[in-house]
């Protein structure tokens, strides 16, 4: 197996002490931000982008992946112990997990989440290892028109197909696309939407947008409705160890959760919410203990937790092989690659095999680290939840502003950060999804350049998009994915399964 030989080479890279250290920092940070409500892995990577661009690319990217995986682990802790999931990927976990904690079974809930995450993460990373070379082989034959069509698919699925409302999702996407226009057009050298402001000539920084939307927007939103919600932290009661019964009830949901998480994560369908809720619904249907659901059923924690970790690995498949981010965190990781001048895709596998396979190998290591960090040390992570909310958000804003001015020491950058913060607040208030904005900003310019390349090859004939069978198929898929939600008003209801 060629893949395993490459993986072995990657392992040599991954076990270099410096890279092990980066992986450890990544999983520690990831778990911490996963535990803390209000900050997610996407924001953390965004905050770290400006301060890592002078570090070693391999190490930084290994760290970013560790943050992604760690965030999935840490999110479960918060979801179980205080019914406010740290990440949207943990919403399904919170349903049964918090009930288990209230019933004094928080220990086994955390354990099944951590072990399930480990099992799913390992299987899914193995899936990534095996699948990536095949996808790379396919992707090599892609022309610019095919890439453009692929990005159209990603745009539609991320924004319209699975959200609450296709109109609101697409609105978010187009705001992102519009922001992507700002700056000097590389092909013609003309500036667009810059209004003579020099800071706008070199494009809107992805970091500034992401930090504004996620950090400032979230802080404003939470502050504005502080008078509404009350959070209650459940103490970890009961043994951390799972009984034989718990194991028996957990292993099948782990595997089923993985089966949902990995493929859906790998498709450009965006995010971990869908597989987690599918897994939750499935476990609820298949369980031998239906009476437990609604009172804290371990299956309802094991399945979704496995699903969200598997989907994180799945998301890396299109990201690494095609350069296609399908979640906010993946979009930030793509920005991480780009800041080193690296472009994920088939070429990266050919030109930088050590970096790519080192990253994949380090995911296995990160997963093992996370199991150790989360099971025995869960008590430590829970303490993070005791940081008073005012200081937590004040700290987030301080880091957000400092990271922004460190990247670009100009008041204009801070003004943009503030404006994006207000935008993020308004979008949360009116229930517009955030991730499509970020994906639009990052992918928009790439899609544009692929389109223009395709059209200049075909001497301006737009039919080239339909003459390539790959591109025609992908555009058809995109069209179906765009129209479907208007007719089937049920697609977005995965989220509402529990209501």
Partner 1 sequence: MATSPQRRVDVAGLVIALILLILAGVVWWDMSKLQILSPYDLGPKVMPIVVSGGLVLLAIGNAIGALRGDLPARDTLDWKPIILILGALVCLIVLIRFGGGFMIGTALLFAATSTAFGRRAFITDFIIGAVIALIVYVLFAKLLTLSLPAGPLERLF
Tell the smallest beta-carbon distance from residue 50 to partner 1 (Å): 7
**Interacting span for partner 1 (CB under 8 A) from 201-209, 280-288, 358-366, 390-398:** 390-398
Tell the smallest beta-carbon distance from residue 494 to partner 1 (Å): 13
**Interacting span for partner 1 (CB under 8 A) from 136-144, 187-195, 323-331, 375-383:** 187-195
- Name which of 186 and 372 has its Cβ closer to partner 1: 186
Do 119 and 111 meet the contact criterion of CB atoms below 8 Å apart? no
As a whole number of angstroms, the distance between CA 312 and CA 264 comes to 10
How many C-beta atoms surround the C-beta of residue 110 within 10 A? 29
422 binds partner 1 (CB under 8 A): yes
395 binds partner 1 (CB under 8 A): yes
469 binds partner 1 (CB under 8 A): no
Tell the smallest beta-carbon distance from residue 294 to partner 1 (Å): 21
414 binds partner 1 (CB under 8 A): yes
401 binds partner 1 (CB under 8 A): yes
Q: What is Dmax (Cα atoms) for the chain? A: 70
Query: Which region, left, alpha or beta, applies to residue 271 given φ > 0 means left and ψ of -120 to 50 means alpha?
Result: left
496 binds partner 1 (CB under 8 A): yes
HSE-CB at 240 with a 13 A cutoff on CA atoms is: 12
As a whole number of angstroms, the distance between CA 305 and CA 276 comes to 7
286 binds partner 1 (CB under 8 A): no
- Name which of 109 and 475 has its Cβ closer to partner 1: 475
- Over its C-alpha atoms, the chain yields an Rg (Å, rounded) of 22
Q: Which of 137, 224, 237, 372 is the binder for partner 1 (CB under 8 A)? A: 224
Beta bridge mates, 183: 192
For residue 191, give the H/E element and its range: strand 191-192
**Interacting span for partner 1 (CB under 8 A) from 46-54, 73-81, 199-207, 233-241:** 46-54
Residues 6 or more apart in contact with residue 383 via CB below 8 angstroms: none
Give the pair of three-digit tokens for residue 76.
């479960």
- Name which of 59 and 261 has its Cβ closer to partner 1: 59
Tell the smallest beta-carbon distance from residue 453 to partner 1 (Å): 9
- Name which of 198 and 395 has its Cβ closer to partner 1: 395
As a whole number of angstroms, the distance between CA 432 and CA 423 comes to 10
Q: Which of 187, 235, 387, 479 is the binder for partner 1 (CB under 8 A)? A: 187
152 binds partner 1 (CB under 8 A): no
Binding residues for partner 1, total number by CB under 8 A = 65
Helix axes 328-338, 435-457, angle to 10 degrees: 50
As a whole number of angstroms, the distance between CA 177 and CA 295 comes to 45
Subset of 442-461 contacting partner 1 (CB under 8 A): 444, 448, 451-452, 455-456, 459-460
For residue 183, give the H/E element and its range: strand 183-184
226 binds partner 1 (CB under 8 A): yes
Subset of 426-445 contacting partner 1 (CB under 8 A): 429-431, 444
220 binds partner 1 (CB under 8 A): yes
**Interacting span for partner 1 (CB under 8 A) from 257-265, 268-276, 304-312, 383-391:** 383-391
219 binds partner 1 (CB under 8 A): yes
Residues 6 or more apart in contact with residue 238 via CB below 8 angstroms: 104, 105, 106, 107, 108
Query: Which region, left, alpha or beta, applies to residue 131 given φ > 0 means left and ψ of -120 to 50 means alpha?
Result: alpha
Q: Which of 24, 25, 167, 347 is the binder for partner 1 (CB under 8 A)? A: 167
Tell the smallest beta-carbon distance from residue 78 to partner 1 (Å): 18
SS3 state at 192: strand
| Residue closest to 472 by CA, chosen among 149, 240, 168 | 149
- Name which of 166 and 303 has its Cβ closer to partner 1: 166
Beta bridge mates, 191: 184
Tell the smallest beta-carbon distance from residue 223 to partner 1 (Å): 4
Q: Which of 14, 150, 328, 397 is the binder for partner 1 (CB under 8 A)? A: 397
482 binds partner 1 (CB under 8 A): no
Phi, psi of 71 (to 5 degrees): -60, -35
165 binds partner 1 (CB under 8 A): yes
196 binds partner 1 (CB under 8 A): no
340 binds partner 1 (CB under 8 A): no
The long-range contacts involving 473-477, CB below 8 angstroms and separated by at least 24 positions, are 474/146, 474/149, 474/150, 474/152, 474/153, 475/149, 475/152, 475/153, 477/153
18 binds partner 1 (CB under 8 A): no
- Name which of 354 and 389 has its Cβ closer to partner 1: 389
Q: Which of 2, 17, 54, 490 is the binder for partner 1 (CB under 8 A)? A: 54
What is the torsion angle, in degrees rounded to the nearest 10, for the CA atoms of residue 296, residue 301, residue 303 and residue 308? 150
Look at the block and give the residue holding tokens 């979640």.
327
216 binds partner 1 (CB under 8 A): yes
- 251-273 per-residue burial string, b: 16 or more CB within 10 A, e: under 16: bebbbbbbbbbbbbbbbbbbbbb
As a whole number of angstroms, the distance between CA 217 and CA 223 comes to 10
Please give the residue ranges that form the binding site for partner 1 (CB under 8 A): 50-51, 54, 164-165, 167-168, 170-171, 174-175, 177-178, 181, 185, 187-188, 190, 192-193, 216, 219-220, 222-228, 388-391, 393-395, 397-399, 401-402, 405-406, 409, 411, 414-415, 417-418, 421-422, 425, 429-431, 444, 448, 451-452, 455-456, 459-460, 496
């Amino acid at each position: 197996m060629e893949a395993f030989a490459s993986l072995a080479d990657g392992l040599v890279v991954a076990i270099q002490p410096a890279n092990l250290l980066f992986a450890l920092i990544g999983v520690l940070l990831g778990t911490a931000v996963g535990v803390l409500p209000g900050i997610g892995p996407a924001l953390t990577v965004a905050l770290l982008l400006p301060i890592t661009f002078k570090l070693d690319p391999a190490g930084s990217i290994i760290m970013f992946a560790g943050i992604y995986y760690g965030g999935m682990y840490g999110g479960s802790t918060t979801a179980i112990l205080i019914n406010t999931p740290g990440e949207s990927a943990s919403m399904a976990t919170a349903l049964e997990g918090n009930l288990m904690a209230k019933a004094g079974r928080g220990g086994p809930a955390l354990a099944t989440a951590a072990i399930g995450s480990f099992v799913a993460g390992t299987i899914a990373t193995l899936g990534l290892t095996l699948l990536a070379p095949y996808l790379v082989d396919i992707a090599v034959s892609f022309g610019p028109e095919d890439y453009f069509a692929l990005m159209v698919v990603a745009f539609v699925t991320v924004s319209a197909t699975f959200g609450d409302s296709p109109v609101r999702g697409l609105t978010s996407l187009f705001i992102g696309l519009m922001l992507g226009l700002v700056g000097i057009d590389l092909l013609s050298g003309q500036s667009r939407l810059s209004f003579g402001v020099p800071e706008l000539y070199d494009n809107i920084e992805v970091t500034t947008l992401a930090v504004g939307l996620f950090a400032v927007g979230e802080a404003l939103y939470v502050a504005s409705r502080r008078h509404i919600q009350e959070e209650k932290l459940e103490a970890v009661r009961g043994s951390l160890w799972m009984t034989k019964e718990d194991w028996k009830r957990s292993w099948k949901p782990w595997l089923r959760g993985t089966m949902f998480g990995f493929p859906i994560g790998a498709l450009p369908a965006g995010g971990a919410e869908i597989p987690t809720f599918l897994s939750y619904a499935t476990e609820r249907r298949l369980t031998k203990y239906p009476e437990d659901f609604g009172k804290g059923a371990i299956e309802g924690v094991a399945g979704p937790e496995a699903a969200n970790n598997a989907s994180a690995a799945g998301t890396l498949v299109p990201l690494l092989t095609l350069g296609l981010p399908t979640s906010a965190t993946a979009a930030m990781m793509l920005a991480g690659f780009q800041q080193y001048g690296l472009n994920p895709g088939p070429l990266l596998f050919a030109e930088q095999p050590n970096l790519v396979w080192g990253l994949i190998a380090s995911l296995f290591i990160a997963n093992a680290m996370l199991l150790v960090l989360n099971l025995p040390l869960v008590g430590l992570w829970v303490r993070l939840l005791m940081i008073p909310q005012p200081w937590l958000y004040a700290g987030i804003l301080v880091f957000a502003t400092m990271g922004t001015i460190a990247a670009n020491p100009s008041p204009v950058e801070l003004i943009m950060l503030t404006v994006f913060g207000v935008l993020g607040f308004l979008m949360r208030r009116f229930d517009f999804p955030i991730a499509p904005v970020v994906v639009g900003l990052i992918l928009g310019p790439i899609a544009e350049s692929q389109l223009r390349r395709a059209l200049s090859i075909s001497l301006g004939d737009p039919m080239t998009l339909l003459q390539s069978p790959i591109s025609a198929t992908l555009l058809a898929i995109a069209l179906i994915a765009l129209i479907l939600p208007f007719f089937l008003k049920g697609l977005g209801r995965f989220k509402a399964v529990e209501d």
